[in-house]
């Protein structure tokens, strides 16, 4: 793109960056708008070095991952160690009128492979955020805002979790300039495992970060519910059998009542005659016992007796022992019915308390999970092959393995290459941005050399891995032991990754 510069620009040492459509004019010693490229002595240079993920041979040749900082390792590239070239720091060729920055040939377990490495610029991208909490964060479809700008919405709740859908092309490019900028900033922070402040219209204020406990309305969530009220009854009914006469597990979705429940019937428990509010689904399972909220079991209940609609004195009896508990065990109360069959608070017996504590013990730690989701379409595929549709077909037929910074991804079925990745499985700082606005994410396509040739790949740009390691300005990072090695042949396959 140097022909677009004026003579005066050249005299001042200005270079033009063609890594994205912004086409920054960069003065000597200065970075471009995205901070990813800079003018170094008149040469357009990627500011972050290429990231190589490595394993090291130890213990008589056994392959084990590096431990961060182990044995004084300082992140330098280790010659001869199994190495995967990630897209992080590789550079961009958008729009891909030329081959990807790195097309790397390597051998693994006797198979010749090629990995096409690039940093994709994604306008069609967003994140799905899973929040482990039974507390109500907002109505489904309610707008989610960051810095006052709408960046997404609340979507369908899942088992024990609230879900957000953030970003997407309409927020990045379809609204005001500020909306696009704030959306991009929010996505970038979440993908790089940083915490962000979000508010839901008519709902909660939250601080969320990938792999961290969510903070909802200033309260740190500690545990994810063990199950709905009905499931909790099923799990612990036998342990309650000899110590209680009735248990009501309060839950925003399905409140459970032990003696009516199939579990109580199986244990031949005597009916207690306590009827709860809400809509009865099946015996012992009730919907809509209260409004959603931040109280017991994700309801707005702070006094559990408010969900008791009636106690039938013809069925109940004085001295009846009643436990009311939430689905996390964080809230619980013990009552004994008096002579008029009214529940009276009492000290909870130790065997009952032990089961309540066991509910909490069976709750997993609450986390916020961030999945980056993007469509690898358009000209990005042209950096891989002269016939882009062949790459799509190769990915869908599983001849080509897609990774993101070396991390495994889920590719959606159907047309295109739409993938999701857990951002915690990538190295830190893996994501960038361009001010169009769009996110920049590493992406790698690995396949057998023969399949790459059949794909119409850019074979004249394939370089040996050893040359990349030797010539590229690169740094190394330890390979995550729980990430599969991208070039391992598929089981039962013909050698293709």
Instruction: Say which residue, 495 or 265, is predicted with more confidence.
Output: 265
Report d(CA 125, CA 205) in Å as an integer: 24
Task: State mean pLDDT over 42-50.
Answer: 80
Task: State mean pLDDT over 326-344.
Answer: 97
Q: Give strand ranges (E) for 329-417.
A: 332-337, 343-345, 368-375, 401-404, 407-408, 410-411
3-18 pLDDT per residue, tens: 467 777 777 788 888 7
Query: Per-residue pLDDT for 65 more than 70?
Result: no
280-316 pLDDT per residue, tens: 999 999 999 999 999 999 999 999 999 999 999 999 9
Query: Per-residue pLDDT for 68 more than 50?
Result: no
List Cβ neighbours of 132 (8 Å cut-off, separation of 6 or more): 160, 161, 214, 221, 223, 224, 364, 365, 366, 367, 368, 369
pLDDT band, very low/low/confident/very high, at 25 (cuts 50, 70, 90): confident
Query: Per-residue pLDDT for 2 more than 60?
Result: no
- Cα radius of gyration (the chain): 29
Instruction: Say which residue, 396 or 377, is predicted with more confidence.
Output: 396
406-441 pLDDT per residue, tens: 999 999 999 999 999 999 999 999 999 988 899 999
Of 97-106, 164-173, 339-348, the least confident: 97-106
Residue found by looking up tokens 């893996």 in the block: 430
What pLDDT is recorded for position 430?
95
What pLDDT is recorded for position 22?
77
pLDDT band, very low/low/confident/very high, at 61 (cuts 50, 70, 90): very low
pLDDT band, very low/low/confident/very high, at 49 (cuts 50, 70, 90): confident
The DSSP string of 105-149 is EEEETTEEEEEEEEEEEESSEEEEEEEE--S----TT-EEEETTE
Report d(CA 6, CA 2) in Å as an integer: 9
What pLDDT is recorded for position 78?
78
Residue-averaged pLDDT of the chain: 89
Report d(CA 120, CA 418) in Å as an integer: 13
- Cα 102 to Cα 14, 329, 459, 462: the distances in Å are 26, 53, 12, 8
Domain boundaries defined on the chain = 2-46, 229-361
Report the percentage of the chain scoring pLDDT > 70: 93
- Reference 250, options 155, 324, 145, 158; nearest CA is 324
Query: Per-residue pLDDT for 354 more than 80?
Result: yes
Query: Per-residue pLDDT for 380 more than 70?
Result: yes
| Separation of CA 468 from chain center | 31
- Reference 97, options 378, 472, 463, 374; nearest CA is 378
Could you check whether the bond before residue 437 is cis, i.e. omega within 30 degrees of 0?
yes
Task: State mean pLDDT over 360-364.
Answer: 95
Structure tokens at 41: 């002595």
What pLDDT is recorded for position 448?
93
Of 62-66, 232-236, 371-375, 419-423, the least confident: 62-66
Task: State mean pLDDT over 47-67.
Answer: 61
pTM for the model: 0.87
What pLDDT is recorded for position 357?
97
Question: Which three-class secondary structure state does DSSP give residue 477?
Answer: strand
What pLDDT is recorded for position 9?
75
Query: Per-residue pLDDT for 163 more than 90?
Result: yes
- Cα 355 to Cα 230, 239, 267, 362, 452: the distances in Å are 16, 7, 17, 10, 59
What pLDDT is recorded for position 458?
94
What pLDDT is recorded for position 142?
98
Structure tokens at 79: 């010659």
Task: State mean pLDDT over 461-490.
Answer: 85
174-209 pLDDT per residue, tens: 999 999 999 999 999 999 999 999 999 999 999 999
Task: State mean pLDDT over 26-30.
Answer: 86
Report the percentage of the chain scoring pLDDT > 90: 73
């Amino acid at each position: 793109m140097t022909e677009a510069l004026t003579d005066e620009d050249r005299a001042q040492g200005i270079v033009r960056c063609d890594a994205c459509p912004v086409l920054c004019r960069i003065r000597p010693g200065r970075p471009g708008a995205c901070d990813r490229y800079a003018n170094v002595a008149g040469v357009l240079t990627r500011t972050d070095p290429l990231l190589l993920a490595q394993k090291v041979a130890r213990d008589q040749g056994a392959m084990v991952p590096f431990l961060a900082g182990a044995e004084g390792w300082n992140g330098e590239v280790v010659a001869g160690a199994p190495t995967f070239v990630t897209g992080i720091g590789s550079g961009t060729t958008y729009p891909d009128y030329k081959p990807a920055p790195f097309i790397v040939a390597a051998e693994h377990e006797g198979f010749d492979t090629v990995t096409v490495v690039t940093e994709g610029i994604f306008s069609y991208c967003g994140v799905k955020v899973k929040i482990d909490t039974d507390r109500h964060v907002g109505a489904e479809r309610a707008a989610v805002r960051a810095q006052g700008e709408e960046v997404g919405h609340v979507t369908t709740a899942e088992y024990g979790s609230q879900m957000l859908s953030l970003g997407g092309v309409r927020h990045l490019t379809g609204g005001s300039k500020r909306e696009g900028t704030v959306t991009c900033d929010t996505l970038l922070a979440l993908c790089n495992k940083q915490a962000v402040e979000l508010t839901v219209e008519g709902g909660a204020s939250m601080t969320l970060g990938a792999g961290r406990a969510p903070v909802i309305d200033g309260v740190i969530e500690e545990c994810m519910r063990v199950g709905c009220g009905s499931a909790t009854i099923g799990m612990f009914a036998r342990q309650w059998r000899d110590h209680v006469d009735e248990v009501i597990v309060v839950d925003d979705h399905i409140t459970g009542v032990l003696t009516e429940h199939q579990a109580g019937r199986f244990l031949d428990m005597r009916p207690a005659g306590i009827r709860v509010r809400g809509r009865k689904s099946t015996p012992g399972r009730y919907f809509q016992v209260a409004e959603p909220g931040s109280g017991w079991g994700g309801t707005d209940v702070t006094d559990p007796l408010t969900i008791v609609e009636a106690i039938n004195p013809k069925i109940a009896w004085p001295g009846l022992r009643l436990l009311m508990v939430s689905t996390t065990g964080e809230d619980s109360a013990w009552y004994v019915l008096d002579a008029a069959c009214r529940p009276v608070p009492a000290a909870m017996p130790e065997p009952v308390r032990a089961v309540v504590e066991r509910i909490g013990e069976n709750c997993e730690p609450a986390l916020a999970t961030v999945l980056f989701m993007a469509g690898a379409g358009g000209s990005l595929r042209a950096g891989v092959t002269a016939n882009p549709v062949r790459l799509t077909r190769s990915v869908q037929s599983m001849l080509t393995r897609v990774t993101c910074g070396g991390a495994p991804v889920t590719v959606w079925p159907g047309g295109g290459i739409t993938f999701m990745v857990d951002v915690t499985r990538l190295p830190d700082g893996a994501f960038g941005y361009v001010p169009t606005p769009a996110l920049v994410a590493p992406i790698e396509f690995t396949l057998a050399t023969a399949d790459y040739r059949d794909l119409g790949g850019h074979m004249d740009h394939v370089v040996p891995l050893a040359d990349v390691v030797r010539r590229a300005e690169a740094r190394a990072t330890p390979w995550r032991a729980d990430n599969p090695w991208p070039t391992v042949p598929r089981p039962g396959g013909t050698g293709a990754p």
